[in-house]
Copies of this chain bind each other. A is one copy, B any other.
Amino acid sequence: MNEFELIQVLTRQTPKRRGVLVCGVGDDCAILRGDKKDILISTDAFAEGVHFRRHWGSWQSIGAKCLRAALSDIAAMGGQPKYYWVSLQCSKADVPKVPRLLYRGFHRVAQKAGIVLAGGNLARASEKLSVTLTVWGEVFKNKALRRDGGKPGAVFVTGSLGRGAVAVRRKKIVLPPARWRVGQWLLKSGCVSAMIDVSDGLLADLSHIAILSGLDIAVQGAKIPKARGATLQEALTGGEDYELAFVVPQNKLKKFADLKPAIPVTCIGNAKRGKGRVSVDRPITQRGFDHYV
């Protein structure tokens, strides 16, 4: 049973909507209906030995990386990040030095993103450090870019792919790109019908859009913007890139082509009505990162 099958089993009996909850399990964030705006909430865990190792970089850079990665879920829906909560578990030997450095990393990112620490939890861990971040973002009512809104058209990606995989290969901490501004810009453009952040690998993440939107997506290997030092395999299936992948429907392509995004945006394939398949015109050996495969 892989990670996504397990999640489906665990959340089978869970209503996807209830009260002000308009989108529950299954997307980057939960969407909760406010009066003027919708609220986006997401929670993300980072564990020593799984997501990072302590000698790969400073604690400050590890803190910054975790918060940037958590904010990526807000960016993926076109939201504006506002608040965050830190649940930190660390051993007695690490106190107080490690939490102070980690928080310095959090503060640095928070300042850049204009977000405020709203609370948290501090508990002892037996040995290895782990941190869960909860983030709160806001988006115009009923406008969040979901995974299930995709319509036939072209598929795009921001920045370049494979940075995360290269960092893991080189045993370095790399700061995820800050995509919340371009995410909001994409939402406001009115040209995007579905969006996701590339955290488990492009093909795996496009699969979510394909399945939930009823599309077949064909990716062209030659068009993939590869990060420096990354192989095509790494760009297609490596995790932790935190770029945005999105679908522009056919009737918006002309308008979208005339816009000037602040960062490079590349067309990497197309989407047709279909059964949730993602194909690529190159041989690849795996589809993406899965915590349990």
Contacts from A to B (Cβ < 8 Å): 1, 3, 6-7, 9-11, 13-15, 18-21, 24-25, 27, 29-30, 32, 34-36, 41-45, 47-51, 82-83, 85-89, 92, 95-96, 99-100, 103, 107, 116-126, 128, 130, 132, 134, 136, 291-292
Q: Would you give 13 A-B contacts (Cβ < 8 Å), ordered by A?
A: A6-B122, A10-B99, A11-B117, A15-B116, A25-B120, A30-B119, A32-B83, A41-B118, A41-B134, A42-B85, A47-B130, A49-B126, A121-B132
Contact at B30–A83, with CB atoms within 8 Å? Answer: yes
Shortest Cβ distance from residue A8 to the other chain B in the assembled complex, whole angstroms: 11
Shortest Cβ distance from residue A36 to the other chain B in the assembled complex, whole angstroms: 7
Contact at B136–A41, with CB atoms within 8 Å? Answer: yes
Contact of A130 among B35, B44, B130 (CB under 8 A): B130
Which residues from B are CB-within-8-Å of A24? 116-119
Contact of A123 among B45, B92, B103, B124 (CB under 8 A): B45
20 further A-B contacts with Cβ under 8 Å, apart from A43-B120, A126-B128, are: A6-B99, A6-B122, A10-B99, A10-B100, A13-B107, A21-B116, A21-B118, A25-B118, A25-B119, A25-B120, A32-B118, A35-B36, A41-B85, A41-B134, A43-B43, A44-B87, A44-B121, A47-B123, A47-B124, A121-B132
Closest to A291 in B: B124
Copies of this subunit:
2
- Inter-chain CA distance A29–B134, complex, in Å, is 13
Contact of A89 among B50, B99, B117, B126 (CB under 8 A): B50
- Inter-chain CA distance A89–B19, complex, in Å, is 29
Which residues from B are CB-within-8-Å of A107? 13
Contact of A41 among B7, B116, B119, B291 (CB under 8 A): B119
